[in-house]
Structures are given as C-alpha cells and as structure tokens.
Chain A
Amino acid sequence: MGINYLYPPFEIIRNQDRCITCRVCERQCANLVHHYDEDKKRMTADESLCVNCHRCVSLCPTRALKIVKTDHIFKENANWKTEVIEDIYRQAGTGGVLLASMGTPKDYPVYWDKMLINASQVTNPSIDPLREPMETRTYLGRKSSKISRDAEGRIIPNSSGQLKLDIPIMFSAMSYGSISYNAHKSLAMAASELGTFYNTGEGGLHKDFYHYGKNTIVQVASGRFGVHPEYLNAGAAIEIKMGQGAKPGIGGHLPGSKIGEDISATRMIPLHADAISPAPHHDIYSIEDLRQLVYALKEATRYTKPVIVKVAAVHNISAIASGIARSGADIIAIDGFRGGTGAAPARIRDNVGIPIELALASVDQRLRQEGIRGNVSLVVGGSIRSSSDVIKAIALGADAIYIATSALIALGCHLCRTCHSGKCNWGIATQNPELVKRLNPEVGSNHLVNLLTAWNHEIKEMMGGMGINSIEALRGNRLMLRGIGLNETELKILGIAHAGQ
C-alpha cells in the first residue's frame, strides 16, 4: 500500500460547546465517520469516510454539526483541476473504471434556466385557478386517426389503451434493488394517491406491490429480470428500456451483495449472484427487431396496455424517435443526460448524451414535420427539478414528465452521489435492513404527494397566468417561451424566439 494522495474533500465541524455526546451521529452513520473518544470524553470524526449525506447533521439534536468543503488545495491550475488530478490518482491506484451515482454534477448548460414563461396582459385575461377550473389531466397513448361510426352514426370510441394522468408527472424507473423496498413502496403509494404512475425499473415487481398495479408501469430491460406473464399484465403499461440518460449505450450491474432473498425472488435470479443487464437487448439489434418486441408484449397483454419505449437522449435522437414512432410503440420516453443513476461509470455519465431540452425540442419538431406526432405521446425526464421545468417541457412539446431525482430528494436523499456504495444513510439506495427501515413509507409517500401537489398548484398558477386552463393547450405551445442568453443555433433547435422578440 503506497501513500494515499487523496485528502478528504469535507471537514466535519463540531461545535463542542453544543455537543452533548448523545452519540446519535455515531449510530446513524453507516460510513462509520463518528466515534466517541473515551479518553477525551468527546466525539471525534474521521472525515475521510464522510460522503456528506447530512444524516448526522439532520439528526443532531443540538445542531452541533456542519459539513464544509475543505480549503486544502492543490496549486491552482485552470486545466488540471483538483478533481482531474484526484481521478488520476484513483485510477493509478486501482486500475479501475471510476464509478459514480446520480446525475452529472458538471457545469453543463441547463436550458430550463435559459427559458422564460409568458403571461397575459390586457389583450386577454389571465385565469385564476382558485376560482375557475384549471385542468392538468393528460392521457398518454396513440390517438386514433380515423373516426368510426356505428349504424346510427354515433362515434365508436376506438382508442387503444390510454394512460390517464391527473397530473402530467410520473415517477420514472428505479429498480427494486437499486432502491429499497420502502422507497418503492413510498413511490407506489404516492402514485396511487396522486392518480399517476410509478415505474418498476428493470428489477421486476415485488409480490407485495401487485395491488398498486393500476398505477404501475412495468419495465422490460435487457436483463429481463423478473419478467413473466403475470408481471406484464400487472401494470397499466409496459416500458421497454433501451437506454438510460445517465449511461447511454451501456447496461447495468447490481452487485451480488445487494441480491438478498427478496430481490433474488423478485428478479428471478440466484441469491447473491450479480445481476448484469447487457448493454443492448440481444434480441434488438435494429428498429425492426424493436417492433417485434413491442408486438410480442402487446400480444402477451392482449393489446390492452400501451407500450412505452424509453431511450437515452443521444445525438441522432430525432431519427431514432421517428423510427420508434413507427414501431408500434404508443409512448416514447426520452431520458436526458443529466438524469440520475444508482451507479454508472463516471466518464460515461459526464460525457455521453445530450440535454433533454434540446432532445425534446428536436424530437417534437421532427415528429410534427413527419406528421406522426399524433402516433405517440412523448414523456421526458432527466433532471426536471421544479414545476417551472415541467411547464417549459410541456410548452416545448412533452405530453408528460418523468421525475426520479426530485422524488428521491423528497424522500430525504441529499444527493451525496454515493448510491453505488449501498450504504445510503437515508434508507433509499440500500438493501441493508437497518438502513432501509429508516425510510418510513407512510412519511415518504406523504412527502411525494406534497411535492407533486405543490408543483401542480404552481403549474396551475402559471397556466392561469398564460390564460390557459387546460394542459393540452400548453403542449407544444412554444410561443409561451422565450430564450434568455441563448445563441441563434440554440434558439433554432428549441424553436423559440429570444426574450424581447
């Protein structure tokens, strides 16, 4: 073992005047940062183990703790920044791929923050959502293109399966395995209460959660974990996962240490065996193969459930989406490169894919140019952080939004980005029973319901301000957006004018 070149990135500041040595910090930290020093009769900490998850800070009864960034520095260098140097040390020491979790922390442009929303003044009235109906209900699924009538001339409703969303926001895929039983239960309960959907992710559906089926989207990914007829028919829709925004082009790996009895049974794999999802689906090497899987799933569910195809936002996303729209899929879900993950190679997470805003704008426009936008619904995710991001996404052309990171934050996640360690102190990204039980599903679900209820209030306020009282009139309504500080190419791709124009 050579010299450790890495200096801890955080310092744990303990106000000894306030500390009552109750040792709650010690008990709460799965990373074993805090210790009681018998000799000095006080608490100490090994900050090299700290991931800055704030569990100790939040639970300290006297607010004696805070975590600060170390001011220890390398000689300043604009090119060879601290993290660059440290990554080289890490790889030189281990010979391994750098692992990371959650969405990229890099300073890429966030286009949501460079768009502004319109409001009515004088020429038409804004609408007060407290006094007038304000509708956020959305249906996802293919719209029929031909009217059929019975002998008396009455319309025969001939739409195939549609998903009804009371709010245009769903919880996107997070597998049981990557997150805990209690986290899944929180999502399922919240989705039921909110009249929307959560997504099983690729890890199958725990037997306890089948009764949330009508608010569940079941996923079929390249590993096919936990896929069987009962599973496919348990949900309201089936999602084929082709890619994930945080790691386009690669598969997944849930280490055997996380494959306990429940997960092993749910995923239908041996106990403690690594669960490896291949990079591609090995039965889909082209678009015509995708069509076969779409129809195989439709056959298996007797054409009662819409099929979603989820792809990562990559460079030629509009051509890919056009192909998917013609593949029989009812809904396309696009995941932007800022989207989260339970574990991904850091270089891929930080460098592969494109922002969801640009992907959405170009896909929506392309499908319209081809006259096939009505064939499919568009759902987008990959770092939607607030109700105004939702409004902007819908105005660019999305039918609905997928959120996951925001949902986890509502459950207590502090974005310490060490999900891959499996030691989540908040009971979310862990399978350790002691940690899992820290997340109370009743409380978690309540927080999720609160979050989306609050967002929905804000969405209604902003819609009312624009004089729009139904979400479908906002969809693709790009006149309601203006760019701020964007160049002409960016404006052209987004299909919006600049502020002041």
Chain B
Amino acid sequence: MDGYHQRMPLEGEVRIPSGCAISGIIDRSGKRFSAREAITSISVMHDRSNGLGGGFAGYGIYPEYKDYTALHIFYYSSEAKRTCEEFLEEHFDLINLSKIPTKKHPAITDVPLIWRYFVTALPTKLSFSQLDEDEYTARCVIRINREIEGAYVFSSGKDMGVFKAVGFPEDVGEFYMLDEYEGYSWTVHGRYPTNTPGWWGGSHPFSLLSYSVVHNGEISSYDANRRHIEMYGYSCTLQTDTEVITYMIDYLHRRMGLTLEEVSHVLAAPFWSTIEQKEPKEREEYSYLRNTFASMLITGPFSIILGFNGGLMALNDRLKLRSLVAAEKGDRVYLASEEAAIRVIEPDPDRLWYPSGGKAVIVTLDSMQEGEAHGHQLPVSAL
C-alpha cells in the first residue's frame, strides 16, 4: 500500500493470492469449435470468481497464420505502443497487425489498447543470437514485459491466443466476441484474487510461447520455485503462482526436453513412500526426476490446465487440495473445477472421473505423432 496516496500496489509490486475456477475442452479429432461452450461452462462457476479477472486460451484459432507467432499486447499509452512497435520492428518481421476486435460490455471497463501482431523472427537477428526461434521469441517477450512500461505481451504462441481482462470470465468472452473464433481446444479461467489493482495483465491464462496455464490454488512453494527458476533467465514480474508454474513447465518441457508426463513427476512428484513401492526401473527414474529438479516441486493446493499446441494437460497437487474433474464424450474431453461446469455443456458424458492428486491427465490430438508432445532439447550453448 502506498501510504500517501492510499493506492493499491500494482500487480507485480506485491504478491496476490487468489482462488479461482478453471475449465478446459478439447476435441481430439481436431474439429474446431467456438468458445461458446467454454463461456457457458465457466458461467456456472460464477461464484468461484469475483469479477477481478477472467480469460481464455484457444488453440487452433489462427490456421491461416499457423507458422507465425501471434503476439497479443496490452498498451496503456500510445507512447508505450510506439516504443514496443519499434522494438518489434527491430526483432521481427511483422506479417500482419491489427487491433483485436472487441465489443463494448457494461461490465468491462478501463479498457487498454489491445493489439495483435503476427510475427516471425528476423533471420539475421536470430542467427546472430545463436538461439533457436522459441528461445529468441521468449527472451523478446520477457524483455518487453520487463522493460517497456505500459506495454504487456500476454500471448506469444503459434496458432493459439490468449484473451483476458478484468471482469467475470463469461463477460470477458462476450467482450472479445470469442463466439467468432474456432479452435480445437479452449481453456478458461475466472479469478478470485484477495486483493487486486485490477490490472488486465494480471488476469489469467498466463502464457509464454504456446504454453498457457490456468490455475486454481495458492502454492506454498512459491518463493522456492521462483528463486530457482529465475536462475535460468526467467523474471517473475507478476509474482503470481501461474506465472512461475508456466515458466517451470517451459523450462522442463521445452528446454530440458522432458515429456509432459515427466514434467508432472517433477511438479507434483509422488511421495517418497509411493516412489519406493514402484518397480526398480521406474523407482530410479522417479527418484532421479524428483531429486534433480527438487526445487521445482510444487506444494500447497493447485489444479492447473496447461494448454499447448496439440493438447491439454490437467494436474492436481499431490494431496488434491483443489477440486478437478475430467469427463469424456466421443472425441471430446472436458476438464473443470466442478462437475456442474461439465454437465452444463455435456449432460451425458461417456465417462466422468476425479483425477487423483499428482496424476496428470494428458490429452492430445489424434493426429499428433507419438513423441510430439515431448519437448525438444536445446543446444547447450543456448542455455
């Protein structure tokens, strides 16, 4: 609290715990559908949010630009926009740019400038950096968010996009007219922060490259995780759980080349007593992952849905201190904080279950090759 002005501290100036609602839908056949069902699903869980943040992530929504990175950016001044665009011009080829279409909504106010850019790394800059394209893009995004005041990149993946605002999530969906987008998967988040300056960047999903995370919980390992991941060039500027979880997933999956299954064995590692009961080979592997990445274990309550190109992963903390439900109907898989949020859009699922704590539910498109959901190893020089 700024004592003189009685101003609430901004997101990132203070750590804000929050409760939340999450929901996710994927069609494994790759069939694309609008965000309408996600909006309906999250609206049932209205009381799990408090109007201080909501948002969506859609995958497969930009097929015509699927080889380009889609940057979604909030600007709080035209000055910030100018500075940021200069930076973008310096580092990327801008293939297309436009305002993100929105519709006035009475409950969504204090709207910043919201822009979208389809970009690709400038080849000369990229080769000079000795990084791969993902790492290059990630570093540019982290730099904008850290250094350009009033500009905030909230989506930076390919063939995917995040849409978020301060408000109830169902209103945010209407505001961005998400009825008009079609994707093969959607995730959505309604936020219940315990205090907030009402900054749009603080809403969720949180996203880096094509990873997006919606999260419900308050992790007790936060500072252990943060201080560890910041060793690898990440900057936890928002001080939220979701941010640090996203960075850990990016590090483990993209940079260390772990599979998502293995990532889940790090983030929500089984108890040692459970590991000891496993077959020798498995036991060795679980122990190795848990010990090697000990500082990335997450404790305290969480349920997350990770969106990535080609799939979704849901994961609960080891004790299952937050609700998380999964269901299946034909090609569709549903994930949500509450069963009601699934039943409202699919009253008659083929199967409905409560995933155990620490047991990842990983759903990928049928078209994905075995191993495609794995990360890839980055050359050591780039790390």
Contact = CB atoms under 8 A, between A and B. Distances in A.
Contacts of B217: 124
Given A155-B262, A473-B224, A125 B321 contact: yes
Contact of A157 (B194, B269, B287): B287
Contacts of B295: 374, 472, 475-476
A362 B291 CA distance: 24
A318 to B, nearest CB: 15
A359 B56 CA distance: 46
B231 A373 contact: yes
B19 A478 contact: no
Contacts of B164: none
B221 interface: yes
Contacts of A368: 227-228, 230-231
Nearest to B272: A137
A41 interface: no
B294 A139 contact: yes
Interface string B248-292: 000000001110001000000101110000000100110111011
Nearest to B282: A154
B349 interface: no
Interface string A117-139: 00010011101000011010101
Contacts of B300: 120, 124, 467-468, 473
Contacts of A124: 17, 217-220, 300-301, 321
A475 B291 CA distance: 13
A473 B297 contact: yes
B145 to A, nearest CB: 21
A474 B299 CA distance: 9
B223 interface: yes
Interface in A445-474: 466-470, 472-474
A139 to B, nearest CB: 5
B256 A476 contact: no
Contacts of A475: 224, 294-295
Contacts of B287: 157
B318 interface: yes
Given A155-B262, A155-B289, A477 B221 contact: yes
Given A467-B220, A477-B221, A478-B227, A132 B319 contact: yes
A123 B18 CA distance: 7
A470 to B, nearest CB: 6
Interface residues of A, number: 39
A480 B297 CA distance: 16
By size class, the interface of chain B is: 35 or more
Contacts of B194: 123
B160 interface: no
Nearest to A126: B220
B87 interface: no
A147 B224 contact: no
Interface string B341-377: 0000000000000000000000000000001000001
A52 interface: no
Contacts of B19: 123
A159 B271 contact: no
B35 interface: no
B377 to A, nearest CB: 8
Contact of A477 (B18, B224, B380): B224
Given A467-B300, A468-B221, A473-B220, A123 B227 contact: no
B298 interface: yes
B15 interface: yes
A371 interface: yes
Given A123-B17, A139-B294, A155-B262, A469 B256 contact: no
A154 B256 CA distance: 14
Interface in B67-97: none
A146 interface: yes
A162 interface: yes
B292 A467 contact: no
A135 B18 CA distance: 26
B220 A147 contact: no
Residue from the set A135, A373, A472 with the largest chain B CB neighbour count within 10 Å = A472
Given A144-B292, A470-B299, A154 B224 contact: no
Contacts of B231: 368, 371, 373-374
Contacts of B281: 154
B299 A467 contact: yes
Among B219, B230, B297, which residue has the most Cβ atoms of chain A within 10 A?
Answer: B297
Given A137-B272, A154-B285, A373-B231, A478 B223 contact: yes
A147 B258 contact: yes
Contacts of B301: 124-125, 467
B271 A133 contact: yes
B222 interface: yes
A175 B321 CA distance: 48
A126 to B, nearest CB: 9
B234 to A, nearest CB: 11
A287 interface: no
Interface in B142-196: 194
* Candidate in B223, B225, B293, B295 with the most chain A CB atoms within 10 angstroms: B223
A143 interface: yes
A195 to B, nearest CB: 12
Contacts of B220: 120, 124, 466-468, 473, 477
Interface string B193-235: 0100000000000000000000001111111110110111000
Given A124-B217, A133-B273, A477 B223 contact: yes
A159 B291 contact: yes
Contacts of A159: 288, 291-292
10 contacts: A123-B194, A157-B285, A162-B291, A368-B228, A397-B227, A467-B300, A469-B299, A473-B299, A473-B300, A476-B227
Given A132-B319, A153-B371, A468-B300, 19 more contacts: A120-B220, A124-B301, A133-B273, A143-B291, A146-B380, A154-B281, A155-B289, A157-B285, A157-B287, A368-B228, A368-B231, A371-B231, A374-B231, A467-B218, A467-B301, A473-B224, A473-B225, A476-B224, A478-B223
Interface of A: 120, 123-125, 127, 132-133, 135, 137, 139, 143-144, 146-147, 153-155, 157, 159, 162, 368, 371, 373-374, 397, 466-470, 472-480
* Complex A-B, nearest 10 residue pairs according to Cβ-Cβ distance, in ascending order: A473-B221, A479-B223, A467-B220, A157-B288, A473-B299, A477-B224, A472-B294, A124-B218, A477-B223, A123-B17
